[in-house]
Amino acid sequence: MVAMFFTGHLGAVRSNHPRFALVLLALIVTGSVAAEPVQLSPEQSRIIESARVAALEYTHQLPDFICTQITHRAIAKTAENGFSGTGVSGRGPIAAMANSMGFTADTIEEQLTYVGGKESYEVLSLNGRKAVNKEHMSLTGVISAGEFGSLLSEVFDPASHTTFTWVHAEKFHGRPVDVFRFNVPKEAGTSIFYRDSDKEIQVSYSGEIYLDPETMQIVEIVSKFDLPPTFPIRVAERRVEYAPQQIAGKNYSLPTRSHVHMEDGIHSYDNQIDFKNYHRFSSESTLHFDDNGQSK
């Protein structure tokens, strides 16, 4: 499940504005008819279909693993209020940018466990201090989930009726890549839930995929959600970058960083997320004990 949550301003910021929660949940769409790519040559269509096969097999091939997720979050006034957000295209460290320009920032370190195709989180520290009784989904500010597997499979699922168009070829970190634009229609799009008013809407989303033509693996995906002007959140975008990671002696294409950008017309919110220290999951890795030494 792809999800981004917006629960008000970052903890260090005081505001009289109402608290929000923005939740992007992928809808399950029935049907088995593949989307027909448009404006593609036969070779480009072949590339997209090969990438589709690889993306749909992706989650089934991933092993159970653990990694460290470090999220640097920054909040700033939007351009109309004196500052401008970095936008989803930015790849620099958000915390460094925030400190140098007077924005508000914080850092969250978590242990991410991926078992049986599902993600779970344990909050380890907040701004370098050990976290106590903190849960990922209860943190205030912008948080996200779903970078592993579901993000790609939902774009390439034939039931989503995604359309693809060719953009250009370019270099990505020195590697040649093919860039395609995609659009997921509203009827197969994303459900957005606004927690304060219990309002739920369904929206389309679009973006670009950066595809390695040799391996047929996605090295980066950029998504922008089509929010109506009356919705409290005006902009919601995400970029996820993938690279080979070794787990138990075998390489897998996994997220290395993600950037989430959101705006509400008053503030912009930027999360730079780094994924590190991948290793294979074992039951011993996540055992917790109470004060009497008993496992929980």
Answer whether 88's CB lies under 8 Å from 95's CB: no
Lowest mean per-residue pLDDT among 47-56, 139-148, 271-280: 139-148
Arithmetic mean of pLDDT over the chain: 76
Each residue of 224-279: pLDDT tens digit? Answer: 999 998 888 888 899 999 999 999 899 999 999 999 998 888 888 899 999 999 99
Cα of 43 vs its chain's centroid, Å: 30
Max CA-CA distance within the chain?
A: 66
pLDDT attached to residue 194: 62
Would you give the DSSP letter of residue 289? B
pLDDT attached to residue 162: 94
Counting DSSP H helices and E strands in the chain, the numbers are 3, 16
Residue 72 clears pLDDT 90, i.e. is over it = yes
Q: How many Å apart are CA 26 and CA 237, to the nearest integer? A: 15
Confidence category of residue 61, pLDDT binned at 50, 70, 90: confident
Residue 207 structure tokens: 């973006």
In a domain, 191, yes or no: yes
In a domain, 296, yes or no: no
Answer whether 240's CB lies under 8 Å from 77's CB: no
The strand pairing partners of 114, in sequence order, are 65, 119
Residue 139 clears pLDDT 80, i.e. is over it = no
**32 or 105: which carries more pLDDT confidence?**
105
In a domain, 25, yes or no: yes
In a domain, 287, yes or no: no
The strand pairing partners of 202, in sequence order, are 191
pLDDT attached to residue 104: 77
What share of the chain in percent tops pLDDT 70? Answer: 71
Domain of residue 236, residue span:
3-278
Residue 92 clears pLDDT 90, i.e. is over it = no
In a domain, 57, yes or no: yes
Predicted TM-score of the model (pTM): 0.76
Q: Could you count the other beta carbons within 10 Å of the beta carbon of residue 277?
A: 11
Grouping H, G, I as helix, E, B as strand and the rest as coil, residue 134 is coil
Give the number of domains in the chain. 1
Please count the residues of the chain. Answer: 296
In a domain, 214, yes or no: yes
Answer whether 135's CB lies under 8 Å from 201's CB: no
- Mean pLDDT confidence for 109-128: 91
Q: Could you count the other beta carbons within 10 Å of the beta carbon of residue 190?
A: 24
Q: 23 vs 14, 61, 140, 193, 254, CA distance in Å?
A: 22, 27, 13, 5, 23
Q: How many Å apart are CA 264 and CA 235, to the nearest integer? A: 7
In a domain, 295, yes or no: no
67: nearest Cα among 243, 285, 287, 261 = 285
In a domain, 73, yes or no: yes
Cα of 198 vs its chain's centroid, Å: 23
